[in-house]
Amino acid sequence: MKVRFWGTRGSLPVSLGGAALRAKLVRSLLAADGRRFADAADAEAWLATQPFGLTQTYGGNSSCVEIERRAPDPAGGNDYLLCDMGSGLRPFGNAVMARHGPQRPNHFHIFLSHLHWDHIMGLPFFTPAYIAGNRLSIYSAHAEAEQALRLQQSPPCFPVPFEALGARIEFIQLEPGRTVTAAGCQVSAKRQLHGGDSYGYRFEAEGRSLVYSTDSEHRLEQAGEAEDFAAFFRAADLVVFDAMYSLADAVSVKQDWGHSSNVVGVELCRLAGARRLALFHHEPIFSDERIAEVEADARRLERITREDGPALEVFAAYDGLEVEL
Amino acid sequence: MDLHATYRDGVLLLQPQGRINHLNAEAFEAALAARQAAQAGRLLIDLSQLEYISSAGLRILMLLSKQIVSAGGRLATAAPTPVVREILEISRFNLIFKIHPTVDAAIAAFAAVG
Ligand SMILES: [Zn+2]
Ligand SMILES: [Zn+2]
C-alpha cells in the first residue's frame, strides 16, 4: 500500500508567495556561502543536505490523499482510492490524465470526511469527472453529500453545472461501524467532533492499515474518548492526523473550532501502538518554518513518551509526499 | 496523582504530584474542584512534583485558567521539572501560562502586582 499526499493544507488553499520564496533564496545563498556547483545534480545534492523548510514547501492544496494498492485490481479495472476532494484533487486529476490520456475509463472511489468547502472544492476542477466513461463512487456518512456537490456547482457560485460532469457519479451512504469494501480495501468509519460532524476512515488491505482522521477535535480527559480513538487507530501503519493548531490554541482561543494538535496526535498514536503519524491539515497562516517546528515539537514529545515502547515515526505531510506502508 | 493545597501570602498554592494523563484527568479535575481552585483570586500551581502531564491534564488547567481569569483572578505556575517544562513548550502553554522558576519568585510576583 502506498499513500500519496496531493493536498495537505487545512481550511484554505495557499501559495508560498513571492516574499517567502525570496526569503528562502536569500537564506539558501547565504547558506551556500560562495560554494561553486559543477552542475544541476551537484546543486541538487547540496540542497538535499539543507532543511526541508529552506529548500522546499509543504504546499498549499487543501485535503486530498490517494491510497494506492500494490497489487493491481484482479478485475482489471483502473481503480483509484482517495480521501477527500480538496484542491489537491486537481493535480491528482491532471496526473491521471497524463498517465492514461482521456481514452481509458477510470473508476474513482472517494471517501469524504465531511462536506466543508476545503474538502470538496476540487471536484469542479477534476478533469476526469468531465469525461464520459469514467466513474466516481463517492462515499460519505453525510446524507447531504450530493446536495453539497450540486450546490457548489450552481449559479451564481460556479458557471459549469454539476450536470455537465460527464462521468457516471454515484453516492454511497456510509454508517459508522459498518465496513464497506472499495477498490479492494476494507473501510470503516468513525464519527468525529467537528462542526456538523466529520468522519475518520480506517482502510485495510494487503495486511496494511491506514487511518485518515482529519477535522477532528479531541477532549481526551473525557472518559472513553482516548480509548475509542486508540481502538480506531490500533496498530495502524500510518495515521493521517489533523494537527492544525498548537494544543494551547486548540483548547483556548480555538476551542470548539473542530481541530486538533500535534500533541494529541502523538498521544493517541502512542496509545494505539501506531507505527507512523503524518501531521496534516496544516494551518494556512503557518510558514514552512513554522510547520517544521510543529514537526520537531511532535518528535520531541514522541521521545519523551516513548519509554520502552517502539518508536513512532512522526512527520509533517507535504503536497507530493509518497509513503510506502 | 495527588494534589496538595496550602495558602501562602493570600495565594492558593496547589502542588500536583505524580503523573496526570487521560486516565486520571477527571480525578484531577475533581480534586481541583474540591480545593475550590476556580474560586481562588490568586492561584499558583507548583509543578515541582509533577512528573508528566498529558493534553487531558493541560486542557483541564486551561479550563480552570479561563474560569479564574473571567472572575478577575490570576493563575501562575512555578518550578516545572525538565520534562514538564518541555511539554509546556511543545504544547505552547508557555505562551499562555506564566512560568516562574521557583515558588518564592511566583509568590513575590503576585505580591508585587498586588
Ligand atoms: Zn478542513
Ligand atoms: Zn471542516
Q: If you search the block for the grid coordinates 485535503, which residue do you land on?
A: A63
Residues A122 and A30 in one domain: no
- Check whether A99 has a pLDDT greater than 90: no
Residues A24 and A131 in one domain: no
**Selection from A289, A279, A323 nearest residue A9 by Cα:** A279
Tens-digit pLDDT profile for residues A268-316: 999 999 999 999 999 999 999 999 999 999 999 999 999 888 899 999 9
CATH number at residue B24: 3.30.750.24
- Count of CB atoms within 10 A of residue A162's CB? 17
Residues A211 and A68 in one domain: yes
Q: How many CB pairs under 8 A join A and B?
A: 68
pLDDT at res. A70:
75
A187 pairs with which residues across the strands? A180, A203
Which ipTM value was assigned to this complex? 0.94
Report yes or no on A66 lying in a domain: yes
Report yes or no on A325 lying in a domain: no
Tens-digit pLDDT profile for residues A222-261: 889 999 999 999 999 999 999 999 999 999 999 999 999 9
A141 falls in which pLDDT band (50, 70, 90)? very high
Residues A62 and A140 in one domain: yes
pLDDT at res. B26:
94
Q: Are A297 and B54 within 8 A, CB to CB?
A: no
Residues A140 and A40 in one domain: no
CATH number at residue A125: 3.60.15.10
Mutate to test the interface with B, among A217, A218, A227, A251 (most CBs of B within 10 A): A251
Find the domain containing B77 and state its range.
2-113
pLDDT at res. B60:
96
How far CA A284 is from CA of A9, A14, A58, A290, in Å, comes to 6, 6, 11, 11
Report yes or no on A140 lying in a domain: yes
Residues A260 and A147 in one domain: yes
Residues A285 and A174 in one domain: yes
How far CA A117 is from CA of A195, A248, B54, in Å, comes to 13, 26, 33
Cβ proximity of A318 and A53 under 8 Å: no
Residues A85 and A187 in one domain: yes
Report yes or no on A324 lying in a domain: no
Nearest by CB to A297, which of B22, B56, B90? B90
Q: Rounded distance, CA A62 to CA A244, Å?
A: 12
Residues A187 and A92 in one domain: yes
Q: How many distinct structural domains can be found in chain A?
A: 2
Residues A38 and A158 in one domain: no
Q: How many distinct structural domains can be found in chain B?
A: 1
pLDDT in tens, chain B (114 residues): 899 999 999 999 999 999 999 999 999 999 999 999 999 999 999 999 999 999 999 999 999 999 999 999 999 999 999 999 999 999 999 999 999 999 999 999 999 876
Residues A84 and A44 in one domain: no
A177 falls in which pLDDT band (50, 70, 90)? confident
Mean pLDDT, chain A, whole residue set:
95
Find the domain containing A27 and state its range.
18-54
Residues A39 and A150 in one domain: no
Report yes or no on A98 lying in a domain: yes
Nearest by CB to A220, which of B29, B56, B93? B56
Cβ proximity of A15 and A34 under 8 Å: no
Question: Residue B90's closest chain A neighbor by CA?
Answer: A297
Distance from the Cα of A297 to chain B's closest Cα (Å) equals 5
**Selection from A191, A153, A188 nearest residue A169 by Cα:** A153
Tens-digit pLDDT profile for residues A36-89: 999 999 999 999 999 999 999 999 999 999 999 877 665 556 899 999 999 999
